[in-house]
Amino acid sequence: MIRQNPPSYTKGCQALDGTAKQALDTARNRLLMTGALFLIAFAVIGARLIDLTMMRDGHEPRLAQAAGLGILKKERADIIDRRGVLLATSLATSSLYANSRRILDAEEAVEKLKSVLPDLDEKMTRTRLTSGHSFVWIYRHLTPRQKYAVNCLGIPGLYFQHEESRVYPHGNLAAHVLGFSGIDHHGLAGIERSLNDELRESSDPLKLTLDIRVQSILHQELSRAREEYQAIGGTGMVMDAHNGEVLALVSLPDFDPNNPVNINDEASFNRATLGVYEMGSTFKIFTAAMALESGTVDLDGGYDATEPIQIGRFTIRDHYPKRRWLTVPEILIYSSNIGAAKMASDVGTANQRAFLHKLGMLSPAAIELPEVGAPLVPSPWRKINTMTVAYGHGLAVSPIQLTTGIATMINGGLFYPATLLPRVKRETGTIERAPEKGEPGSHVLSPDTSEQIRRLMRLVVVEGTGKRAAVNGYLVGGKTGTAEKSARGGYSAKALLSSFVSAFPMTAPRYVVFVMLDEPKGTEETFGHATGGWVAAPVARRIIARTAPMLGIPPVDENTPEIQSEMMVNITPRGPSLASF
């Protein structure tokens, strides 16, 4: 590492001898090296300084964010309806606990607490306060007023713990849809349970398809009818016919999710999705659609309903027998079991089964609720089953399945599984989750058949058993259903399931309305009748009359020739043309 000395140096250092000169040279060289190293180090530090101070890149967090602007952290996300109305939220509350070692006089403390918390369990509190533990709960979830009152008592040894409690501002209004969550913020029923993870993870509100206004009207009208006809229960729903979105879903009796402790089994049972019932005559719509679609009969065709059908040990008869040949429209108007059974047996068992499968009648509904009932499907599916299923007996489905099926019948033949989550992304900032099960929009019917079914359903309201559902201006169509509930070893004529399924406006249906009452009793007003046409159809009428303006359905003049011709069905019996053979 010894360099050749420059000539200028050697000139001025003549006196130095070889060794001294060499030592000096080495020192100078080392100094130079060190200096160079320091220079490089300073240069690096300088460059880094410039880089940090002047050429700051995006990696460094901005000050405003670094300081931690807190979005309010909640244990569970809010739930809102389709218009943004708050349905469920978590609110901070205070819970009272005590350090029992610091309690001076347990007896006095209990007495004082009882004066501000009237529903305090005295005995339990006394044992807890004298237990000697340093942490014992006294009272959970105090209201701000109660907290203030407890503070005013000035008892030493009492403390507050911040907690969150789930609050449902609308109480029991959407109880069966929302469900409820437990004290540890875990969903235990309804949407709270099925979307528990989403609700816990997200801070954005979860948007449902419910419309709280429609829900309220449905709840009110159904409650009124249930009271009037002393039904043991009832259920109803409003569904968008074009995408399966559920706008309202009510099951009675219901419960207050704010008070999950007091819920009994009867109230928590969701009749709309968990209950499966033999729906009765509303199924005749499916039978008619199936027959028209397969081409075994057309709207002018018909069947002989003179005699009851005897098959095996069963007899299929009509409730209001006409004892003559009936056209397809007449079979629906008069709700003829014989006609429907013959129609179905012409189509055949295999076809019927395939058709009902496509309609989602043979598998549990796809709705996003944990409480979903599996349909009771006849096994084996014999000819007799084909005939009874044609008029809604022998196959038990949940009301939501039926409503979804009816929506398919009238919307042009597209099957959309029922859903509580909006299908279309409407707004950002809400949890959006596409419905999982089922294939949205799969074809079941041709648009032509769907159009014929619309006419037939309109006809039932204009001419048939559904007259009490008519709302002037909204072209209501529908079908009544009255099923006898199966009792031990047969059917009970006293216990009925009276339902009405309707849609409006029938020229271009937008919404399906389903109403069902469980064991209604006839009143003087209904002349003792408790059938679907008498008790359920008026409920549907009131619901439609109140919701249609709200949902922005423009009323039409039902008597204009265009609409008359659009809804026209030829019902005049052609006579027993078969007899001419």
Partner 1 sequence: MIRPMTLFCLTLAALLSFGLFKVKHKVQVLEEELTQLHHAILTDQKAIHVLNAEWSYLNRPRHLQKLNLKFLGFTPFSAERITTIEELPMRHDLASSQQTTSDNKSLEQSLTSPPSHDVRQAMLTGDASEKDASPASLAINTGGTP
From the list 68-76, 232-240, 336-344, 416-424, the region that binds partner 1 by CB under 8 A is 68-76
Q: What are the strands of the beta sheet with 477-487, ordered from one edge?
A: 246-252, 233-240, 511-518, 490-504, 477-487
Which positions from 201 to 240 touch partner 1 by CB under 8 A, shown as an x/- string? Answer: -----------xx--xx--x--------------------
Contact 496, 531 (CB under 8 A): yes
3-state SS of 517-569 is EECCCCCCCCCCCCCHHHHHHHHHHHHHHHHHHHCCCCCCCCCCHHHHHHCCC
86 binds partner 1 (CB under 8 A): yes
Closest CB 438 distance from partner 1, rounded Å: 31
Nearer CB in complex with partner 1: 2/66: 66
The two tokens of residue 258 are 């704010």
71 binds partner 1 (CB under 8 A): yes
- Distance separating alpha carbons of residues 385 and 383, to the nearest angstrom: 5
Contact 335, 464 (CB under 8 A): yes
From the list 60-68, 249-257, 330-338, 446-454, the region that binds partner 1 by CB under 8 A is 60-68
**C-alpha torsion angle, residues 320, 278, 327, 297 (rounded to 10):** -160
55 binds partner 1 (CB under 8 A): no
Residues of this chain, 92-151, that bind partner 1 according to CB under 8 A:
92
Nearer CB in complex with partner 1: 69/493: 69
40-49 burial, b at 16+ Cβ within 10 Å, e below that, comes to eeeeeeeeee
Closest C-alpha among 2, 47, 57, 50 to residue 28? 2
Among 54, 69, 104, 579, which residue sits at the site for partner 1 (rule: CB under 8 A)?
69
173 binds partner 1 (CB under 8 A): yes
Looking at the DSSP assignment, which residues form a beta bridge with residue 484? 496
Among 149, 167, 263, 551, which residue sits at the site for partner 1 (rule: CB under 8 A)?
167
Among 473, 491, 510, 566, which residue sits at the site for partner 1 (rule: CB under 8 A)?
473
46 binds partner 1 (CB under 8 A): no
429 binds partner 1 (CB under 8 A): no
- Distance separating alpha carbons of residues 321 and 204, to the nearest angstrom: 58
Nearer CB in complex with partner 1: 549/575: 549
Among 46, 447, 555, 575, which residue sits at the site for partner 1 (rule: CB under 8 A)?
555
Closest CB 406 distance from partner 1, rounded Å: 23
Active site residue 281: yes
45 binds partner 1 (CB under 8 A): no
Strands (E), 192-342: 206-207, 233-240, 246-252, 277-278, 302-304, 309-311, 314-316, 325-327
91 binds partner 1 (CB under 8 A): yes
From the list 63-71, 226-234, 235-243, 343-351, the region that binds partner 1 by CB under 8 A is 63-71
- Number of residues engaging partner 1 in binding (CB under 8 A): 35
431 binds partner 1 (CB under 8 A): no
Closest CB 540 distance from partner 1, rounded Å: 15
Q: Tell me which residue has tokens 């700051």.
A: 56
Residue 212 makes CB contacts below 8 A (sequence gap 6+) with 81, 83, 85, 87, 170, 173, 174
From the list 8-16, 33-41, 64-72, 375-383, the region that binds partner 1 by CB under 8 A is 64-72
Among 6, 58, 61, 68, which residue sits at the site for partner 1 (rule: CB under 8 A)?
68
Closest CB 385 distance from partner 1, rounded Å: 43
Closest C-alpha among 399, 479, 470 to residue 236? 399
Report the half-sphere exposure of 305 (CA within 13 A, side-chain side). 28
Contact 309, 318 (CB under 8 A): no
15 binds partner 1 (CB under 8 A): no
541 binds partner 1 (CB under 8 A): no
Q: Which of 95, 281, 345, 450 is catalytic?
A: 281
Among 1, 2, 15, 64, which residue sits at the site for partner 1 (rule: CB under 8 A)?
64
Calculate the CA 197 to chain-centre distance: 16
169 binds partner 1 (CB under 8 A): yes
Strand 79-80 versus strand 86-98 pairing type: antiparallel
- Distance separating alpha carbons of residues 476 and 558, to the nearest angstrom: 10
Contact 138, 150 (CB under 8 A): no
Catalytic residues: 281
- Contacts with partner 1 by CB under 8 A lie at 63-64, 67-72, 85-87, 89, 91-92, 167, 169-171, 173, 212-213, 216-217, 220, 471-474, 545-546, 548-550, 554-555
